[in-house]
A and B are shown apart, each in its own frame.
Chain A
């Protein structure tokens, strides 16, 4: 089984792109499974179900969604192996735009859209910087020049990635993406012993533990203060 991890900011087009791409896998007779990770709510699993493929969703609720992802990915892989799937795709939104739990040796795809502004590539952390393939969406509604500038900006934070333009609405580029992300020689049976590409932010403060009151005396643990300069 090949495992592909897909992430990207909310509404960047991950699900649309995947639906079109999976369609090409199905036509090739490959068995695809999807696990959708989200924070509070998602009904994207319904879209995947329409393709008649096995789908699971995981909502992290009050936990950090990326930590939740890592804590569950091993079980997800077991689930896929158990169903004898050829390609298991996980989709997760990088909600704080910083980390993304990409795994060393497992293909990582980041989806980002042209509308998000030219400084966005700089604002997104390892989710974009350490991806193998960067898919840029919504190119049909911005000018050629803006597409070129945006591509440049992505390239400057992640020069080693393959950068692709895919249209999630009409599927232009989805076939090409499908040939890039699936490697039939890749046979993942377990993730035991593998490591993340990048450590997650260190965060354990009173608010992680459910504190709601505001003010210095309620703050313990890893707390950092904003620099507002001298009074």
Chain B
């Protein structure tokens, strides 16, 4: 790997690893006009002013370059791993008692909701999973991914994050259009067929959102529902993380059933902390948290599922009332004429 620095010219490196340009640019190392040199030679001809001005540290730059290439190669091999499993082994309640379950295994394509009062330990469970805890978190739980605990380097690898997160108060903060934004994210994930992927995400987002939006809309101008729709579609399709943690999908302006279906169809494991009975019933199981520990795991029963329709009707009823309000009509229990 060391001969990367001395055996190839920069233009050869760029052909082999196109993303290497970003590394030069982000580290403010000027290479334009010197593409016929090796990295070692380029660093040799930089004048004192450039090194001083751009705060370049040649030794760190060389070591970093090799590590950067390693990291980037890791992005390429990740043909989305499917059939992932998470296994949770018992730890301790807040009072130090042992949790009562034997083990809980969750597979790709499953939706599990996590319920419990505020402060009961839902976030801790999500954090344990994100960190692949190995008796080294306050709960002392053990989390296995695909049947084994993770090595230290796997825990910290940023190219291989286990968990993508969607939470209630997320916003877009970048100043760009939907198209530019998706292009940037797709480039950072080094996807091959970028344009198709971007179009795909855009279409999905539009089918999730109540009101459609244009691909040239600035992302900061999207409505709450549209933003969430775009985030969910983008996370489902572009994020390499096999596990998605959702902190309550808002009701407003987004088809939640379709959103969950999309995530599941992309072979994600979906863990969702929620207080909404409709969402909880859309899942397969629910983990009940109490006093910092996993109290029990409930399978959704047929009886519960049979009233899902009823609950959805009530939800739609409330929604129609909201719409009446919104459109300046009188609130009445009767259907509109």
Asked if A129 contacts B60 (CB within 8 A), the reply is: yes
Closest to A147 in B: B165
Cβ of A145 and Cβ of B26 under 8 Å apart?
A: no
> Number of A-B pairs whose CB atoms are under 8 Å?
109
With A129-B60, A149-B185 as given contacts, are A172 and B171 in contact (CB-CB < 8 Å)? no
Contacting residues of chain B (211-238) with chain A, CB-CB under 8 angstroms: 227, 231, 234-235, 238
A126 and B57 contact, Cβ closer than 8 Å, known pairs A142-B171, A173-B127: yes
A114 to B173: give the CA distance in the assembly, Å: 9
A130 touches B131 (CB 8 A): no
Q: Does B317 contact A (CB under 8 A)?
A: no
Tell me the residues in window 167-222 of chain A with beta carbons closer than 8 Å to chain B beta carbons. 170, 172-173, 175-176, 179, 198, 201-202
Closest B residue, CB atoms, query A151:
B158
Interface string of B34-67 (1 = CB under 8 A from A): 0000000000000000001001010010011101
Contacting residues, chain A, for B68 (C-beta < 8 A): 155-156, 159
Tally chain B residues at the interface, Cβ within 8 Å.
Answer: 49
The answer to whether A148 and B173 have CB atoms under 8 Å apart is: no
Residues of A within 8 A of B166 (CB): 144
Count how many chain A residues have C-beta atoms less than 8 Å from C-beta atoms of the other chain.
Answer: 43
Say yes or no: is B184 at the interface (Cβ < 8 Å to chain A).
Answer: yes
Chain A residues within 8 Å of B189, by CB: 148
Contact B67 A143 (CB under 8 A): no
Cβ < 8 Å to B, chain A residues 115-156: 115, 117-118, 121-122, 125-126, 129-130, 139-146, 148-149, 151-153, 155-156
Do A140 and B170 touch (CB < 8 A)?
Answer: yes
A162 interfacial by beta-carbon distance below 8 Å:
yes
Is A67's CB within 8 Å of the partner chain B? Answer: no
Name A's B-contacting residues (CB within 8 A). 98-99, 114-115, 117-118, 121-122, 125-126, 129-130, 139-146, 148-149, 151-153, 155-160, 162-164, 170, 172-173, 175-176, 179, 198, 201-202
Picked from B57, B126, B234, the residue with its CB within 8 Å of the CB of A143 is: B234
Nearest CB of chain A from residue B62's CB, rounded to whole Å: 11
Cβ 8 A contact of A159, one of B64, B169, B173: B64
A160 to B64, CA, bound (A): 6
A156→B22 contact, CB < 8 A: yes
Choose among A139, A140, A201 the residue with the greatest number of B CB atoms under 10 Å from its CB. Answer: A140
- Chain B residues 158-176 with CB under 8 Å of chain A are 158-159, 161, 164-167, 169-174
A and B contact pairs by CB, cutoff 8 A, 16 listed: A98-B55, A121-B26, A125-B55, A139-B165, A141-B170, A141-B171, A143-B172, A144-B164, A144-B170, A145-B181, A155-B68, A159-B64, A159-B65, A162-B156, A164-B156, A176-B137
Is B277 on the interface with A (CB-CB < 8 A)? no
The smallest C-beta distance from B9 to any residue of chain A, in angstroms, reads 21
Complex contact B67–A159 (CB within 8 A): yes
* Nearest chain A CB to B244 CB, angstrom units: 9
B55 touches A126 (CB 8 A): yes
B138 interface residue per 8 A CB criterion: yes
Rounded to whole angstroms, the CA-CA distance of A176 and B170 in the bound complex is: 23
Q: Which residues does chain B contribute within 8 Å of A141, judged by CB atoms?
A: 169-171, 173
User: Roughly how many angstroms separate A145 CA and B64 CA in the complex, as a whole number?
Assistant: 24
How far is the CB of A142 from the nearest CB of chain B, in Å? 5
Contact call A157/B26, Cβ cutoff below 8 A: yes
Whether A148 touches B185, Cβ cut-off 8 Å, given contacts A143-B171, A172-B127, is: yes
